[in-house]
Amino acid sequence: MGLRMNRTKGDEEEYWNSSKFKAFTFDDEDDELSQLKESKRAVNSLRDFVDDDDDDDLERVSWSGEPVGSISWSIKETAGNSGSSHEGREQLKSRNSFSSYAQLPKPTSTYSLSSFFRGRTRPGSFQSLSDALSDTPAKSYAPELGRPKGEYRDYSNDWSPSDTVRRLRKGKVCSLERFRSLQDKLQLLEEAVSMHDGNVITAVLIFLKRTLSKEILFRELEVRQVALRHLIHFLKEIGDQKLLLDLFRFLDRTEELALSHYREHLNIQDPDKRKEFLKTCIGLPFSAEDSAHIQDHYTLLERQIIIEANDRHLESAGQTEIFRKHPRKASILNMPLVTTLFYSCFYHYTEAEGTFSSPVNLKKTFKIPDKQYVLTALAARAKLRAWNDVDALFTTKNWLGYTKKRAPIGFHRVVEILHKNNAPVQTCRDLKDRQQLLAYRSKVDKGSAEEEKIDALLSSSQIRWKN
Amino acid sequence: MFTLKGNRLPAADVKNIIFFVRPRLELMDIIAENVLSEDRRGPTRDFHILFVPRRSLLCEQRLKDLGVLGSFIHREEYSLDLIPFDGDLLSMESEGAFKECYLEGDQTSLYHAAKGLMTLQALYGTIPQIFGKGECARQVANMMIRMKREFTGSQNSIFPVFDNLLLLDRNVDLLTPLATQLTYEGLIDEIYGIQNSYVKLPPEKFAPKKQGDGGKDLPTEAKKLQLNSAEELYAEIRDKNFNAVGSVLSKKAKIISAAFEERHNAKTVGEIKQFVSQLPHMQAARGSLANHTSIAELIKDVTTSEDFFDKLTVEQEFMSGIDTDKVNNYIEDCIAQKHSLIKVLRLVCLQSVCNSGLKQKVLDYYKREILQTYGYEHILTLHNLEKAGLLKPQTGGRNNYPTIRKTLRLWMDDVNEQNPTDISYVYSGYAPLSVRLAQLLSRPGWRSIEEVLRILPGPHFEERQPLPTGLQKKRQPGENRVTLIFFLGGVTFAEIAALRFLSQLEDGGTEYVIATTKLMNGTSWIEALMEKPF
């Protein structure tokens, strides 16, 4: 796919003849320009992108010798036009020949002084022009302070959508109120979209949102992908959650609807309120997998609230040993599932299945796989140096089944945990797992008592090693 | 110049206060706080706001809602689209660009990219040829052509500096940023994060050695260093594979030592004078060497760790196509040991990209483990990653990656880290896909890889921009072309190093200038895609 310009003679002629450079005429304003240095011209051409009424650097001089835009010139112009002189209008026309806009005659109605001295620097927010021009006018010879050419258009009622959009892009004050019919509005939107400018599209969308019913707005945007995406992004940014969800519902984008609703929970700090909110997320059209996760999220927070209240009470009562010996460093609220399980194995290990805080209960409720459960329990008990519990974990049927299936891949994790907690070497011996004992040996300090013990065990003829 | 902070403005005896900010809503809240906390009793000050690069309707609306819009006398924009970071590197520093373009369909940053390119052309001449690959690339090219049509005031008669412009979508190559970079600069960024050419490092290694002062307090504040090509030594080592840095540093150490030793040979006044005049330069060189030796030591601590080795092994397995279709044990272990979530996400995304998407069972398994270990709220992030194409189920049951890898020779077994012959040295074996595409465009041209290009997402195209006859470039034989390569969505230092490598090849034929929406690495990239409370 390419746009190749074949350099035939004919094409080149056409190319040169279509250049923006016009032949010298007495109205030629390019005079000044051609005397400027190359780079200055390049930099000035940049102004077209930024703001085209920054004419300060270019001094244009009218044929009467006054610099264009100067007060004296302006007065001449204004006076000239107020007499509806044809000549005046013609002069004005030619001075605007830089742009490709169709030339419009300057209107004969005048405008208040205050609007002139508004100045370029406070174009105001994107409010309607009518605000700015509230005063009416007596006819006056008010000076025109170098009106930017684009601004002449303000006073006409013939803005086309593309011109409006161009003005919006330059941050100029622009009323959109005149676009009354749906068709006009849509055309305006189309122009904005083709300009790719986020600000412009947003400005138009704000206008449409205000002046169209929800149903019509949605219906029209449904078939306009770019504008639609922009509206969604905009609604997210300003936090208009309600309209956003209505939109997703309308578009039948069910999964996004669900996720967008769920996202709100991040902003709710109070645990009970958050829990209630999560409840409203259950049953929303998530994917099957995600639905299960959302349900779990709610259930988990529900449990955590109960556990937290209970444990805080126990801790402050000061009667429970585990809390006295190992005071809690943080609340369990909003912690992930595995962290909660660890907490439960740490503080509530021996509890029966019936309580909300027992590890077994958690395992059952959240269908935690055996492997995950055992490793977490192991970590918690090892941290408490409850070696009997560690032993007990190893001797369950589940455990043996696990090692047969997954050893040595998973087992090294066990070794890591044990090593981290300085487990006694006996544990490995009990498992008759020589390989792991060797692995463990490599981790202990050289020449340590541990190493000696290990060596003793390894050389013992009494133990029938599994591997 | 003060950094924008909440509450009250710092006391200063000034009449005018200018807020110089990017158009982000959060910043408007801070500004409003500043304005509203102004001490009424003090002299009234004038407020102005300067948005970079554009004013934003939403931001001004926010200021209005907060009741401070009227307090600003000037509300302007400063059209800084592309910021030069080095002689061959420009960036828009737009963190949101990737997410906006590829997840939200908001093309505002593309518009800014196009504007930036128009500015470049105004200064350096119209670029005669535009190549591109990707949807966003196509949009930018369209915008450029349209802008040129609309704003041809005066014909640009600057002799063109660039021969080509290559626009590349980030999502044409999602793989490269996920892998751990292995160049010196890349590793500094991966481990410590380079922000605006500065890096903050742990201070211990940079404490000046004071004799006989035992027990003096170590500095507690991070050591901040500026990193750019103005520093001779840095320019020399920044793009090398880290394993090649050590020998450069030790050679340098010998040279500098020898230079200092010269003082013994200086006998005449003239010679002493000459030596003294060299002193500042030598001292700077020595300081530079000391800094980089310390940095290299810090990096080495990381790269010689067991975990780094394990992680790298897994990355390289994935990139060379090994075992990308099953649950990976190292990743499982990382989750079980609750390593940083972003580290885990980078790895699962890498696996997914190298497998053209994961089997549903494998994906569900990873997702479950992640949600249960790090929290259910990460469903939102996982959804974003899927939308970006980074972590998704395999559709159509077909893995395209091996074809791409083999055709473009992305995995090179025999890589030479010390004296590289191919761009794959930046990842010690993996040649960045994006740079490979650029390399092949230059020679022999994209026609030779049409099939592979069609597998990669987005259209590929070529446009020509007419130049007046007098300005057409005539290349001398042996003279290099200059290509401006623009990464839409971010670029890594490793890719930059790879392009610089190509630039200095004897018979490479092309020199590169690099532009991007953001300088990034896998971590900052994924972080920008994480869903946070608003």
pLDDT at A279: 96
pLDDT at B464: 94
pLDDT at position B515 over 80: yes
Q: Are A135 and A89 in contact (CB under 8 A)?
A: no
Record: contact A2-B461, CB cut-off 8 A = yes
Mean pLDDT of B166-186: 98
Mean pLDDT of A292-319: 95
Band (pLDDT 50/70/90 cuts) for residue A18 is low
Nearest by CB to A2, which of B368, B373, B463? B463
pLDDT in tens, A255-274: 889 999 999 999 999 999 99
Cα separation, B340 vs B352, in Å, equals 19
Chain B residues in contact with A290 (beta carbon < 8 A): 379
Chain A residues in contact with B532 (beta carbon < 8 A): 266
Q: Does A45 touch chain B (CB under 8 A)?
A: yes
Mean pLDDT of A305-332: 93
- If one counts every other C-beta atom within 10 angstroms of the C-beta of residue B290, the result is 16
Residue in A with minimal Cα distance to B133: A1
Q: Does A110 touch chain B (CB under 8 A)?
A: no
pLDDT at B56: 85
pLDDT at position A113 over 70: no
Chain A residues in contact with B338 (beta carbon < 8 A): 338
Structure tokens belonging to residue B61: 């609306």
Residue to mutate among A13, A38, A169, A199, with most B CBs inside 10 A, is A199
- If one counts every other C-beta atom within 10 angstroms of the C-beta of residue B509, the result is 15
Q: How far is B210 from chain A (nearest CA, A)?
A: 35
Q: Does A405 touch chain B (CB under 8 A)?
A: no
A303 vs B15 pLDDT, higher one: A303
Record: contact B155-A21, CB cut-off 8 A = yes
Domains for chain B: give ranges and CATH numbers: 16-77 (3.40.50.2060), 83-177+421-525 (3.40.50.1910), 192-209+218-303 (3.90.830.10), 307-399 (1.25.40.850)
Cα separation, A176 vs A128, in Å, equals 7
Q: Is the dihedral of CA A145, A146, A150, A155 positive or negative?
A: positive
Band (pLDDT 50/70/90 cuts) for residue A88 is very low
pLDDT at B322: 95
Structure tokens belonging to residue A150: 């684009």
Cα separation, A93 vs A95, in Å, equals 5
pLDDT at position A76 over 80: no
The residue among B460, B323, B329 whose CA lies nearest residue B399 is B323
Provide the 8-state DSSP code for B201. E
Residue in B with minimal Cα distance to A34: B154
Chain A residues in contact with B60 (beta carbon < 8 A): 125-126
Most confident of A14-18, A158-162, A236-240, B400-404: B400-404
pLDDT at B420: 95
pLDDT at position B531 over 90: no
Band (pLDDT 50/70/90 cuts) for residue A198 is confident
Record: contact B79-A262, CB cut-off 8 A = no
ipTM attached to this prediction: 0.87
pLDDT in tens, B365-404: 999 999 999 999 999 999 999 999 999 999 887 899 999 9
Nearest by CB to B55, which of A44, A171, A338? A171
- If one counts every other C-beta atom within 10 angstroms of the C-beta of residue A73, the result is 21
pLDDT at B287: 93
Record: contact B123-A43, CB cut-off 8 A = yes
Mean pLDDT of chain B: 91
Band (pLDDT 50/70/90 cuts) for residue B469 is confident
pLDDT at position B511 over 80: yes
pLDDT at B94: 93
Q: Which of A235-244, A388-397, B52-61 has the lowest mean pLDDT?
A: A388-397
Cα separation, B108 vs B139, in Å, equals 11
A59 vs B218 pLDDT, higher one: B218
Band (pLDDT 50/70/90 cuts) for residue A431 is low
Band (pLDDT 50/70/90 cuts) for residue A372 is confident
B209 vs B143 pLDDT, higher one: B143
pLDDT at position A66 over 70: no
In the block, which residue shows the tokens 């529900």?
A: A302
pLDDT at A87: 44
Cα separation, B188 vs B194, in Å, equals 7
Record: contact B379-A121, CB cut-off 8 A = no
B34 vs B486 pLDDT, higher one: B486
Nearest by CB to B371, which of A19, A98, A293? A293
Chain B residues in contact with A304 (beta carbon < 8 A): none
Chain B residues in contact with A21 (beta carbon < 8 A): 154-155
Cα separation, B99 vs A233, in Å, equals 11
Band (pLDDT 50/70/90 cuts) for residue B305 is very high
pLDDT at A162: 79
pLDDT at B154: 57
pLDDT at position A168 over 50: yes
Interface of A with B in 272-291 (CB under 8 A): 289-290
Chain B residues in contact with A15 (beta carbon < 8 A): 466
How big is the A-B interface in CB pairs under 8 Å? Answer: 166
Nearest by CB to B533, which of A230, A234, A267? A267
pLDDT at B155: 63
Q: Are B347 and B354 in contact (CB under 8 A)?
A: no
Record: contact B57-A126, CB cut-off 8 A = yes
List the alpha helices (DSSP H) in A239-287: 241-250, 254-263, 271-281
Provide the 8-state DSSP code for B529. T
pLDDT at B476: 73
pLDDT at position A49 over 70: no
Cα separation, A262 vs A290, in Å, equals 11
B225 vs B474 pLDDT, higher one: B225
Q: Does A309 touch chain B (CB under 8 A)?
A: no
Record: contact B383-A259, CB cut-off 8 A = yes
pLDDT at A412: 67
Mean pLDDT of A403-420: 58
Q: Does A121 touch chain B (CB under 8 A)?
A: yes
Chain B residues in contact with A439 (beta carbon < 8 A): none
Band (pLDDT 50/70/90 cuts) for residue A157 is low
Record: contact A2-B459, CB cut-off 8 A = no
**Phi, psi at residue A345, to the nearest 5°?**
-65, -25
Helices (H) and strands (E) in chain A, counts: 26, 1
Band (pLDDT 50/70/90 cuts) for residue A51 is very low
Give per-residue burial for B163-184: e unless 16+ CB within 10 Å, then b: bbbbbbbbbbbbbbbbbbbbbb
Mean pLDDT of A36-48: 45
Say which amino acid occupies B409.
R
- Beta-bridged to residue B512, according to DSSP, are B483
pLDDT at position B456 over 90: yes
Mean pLDDT of B452-481: 85
Cα separation, B498 vs A312, in Å, equals 57
Q: How far is B99 from chain A (nearest CA, A)?
A: 11
Record: contact B373-A233, CB cut-off 8 A = no
Cα separation, B488 vs B250, in Å, equals 39
Nearest by CB to B111, which of A15, A19, A197? A197
Band (pLDDT 50/70/90 cuts) for residue B171 is very high
Three-state DSSP at B362 gives helix
Apex B495 CA angle, B489 and B498, nearest 5: 155
pLDDT at position B533 over 90: no
Record: contact B154-A206, CB cut-off 8 A = no
Residue in A with minimal Cα distance to B379: A290
pLDDT at position A129 over 60: no
B430-433 CB contacts, 8 Å cutoff, 24+ apart? B430/B176, B430/B179, B430/B316, B430/B319, B430/B320, B431/B498, B432/B173, B432/B176, B432/B492, B432/B494, B432/B495, B432/B498, B433/B172, B433/B173, B433/B175, B433/B176, B433/B404, B433/B408
pLDDT in tens, A216-247: 999 999 999 889 988 998 898 888 889 999 99
- If one counts every other C-beta atom within 10 angstroms of the C-beta of residue A172, the result is 22
pLDDT at A101: 31
pLDDT at position B221 over 90: no
Residue B306, judged by CB atoms within 10 A of its CB (0-12, 13-18, 19+), counts as exposed
pLDDT at position B84 over 90: yes
In the block, which residue shows the tokens 């904005």?
A: A192
pLDDT at A398: 53
Beta strand pairing call for B223-226 and B198-201: antiparallel
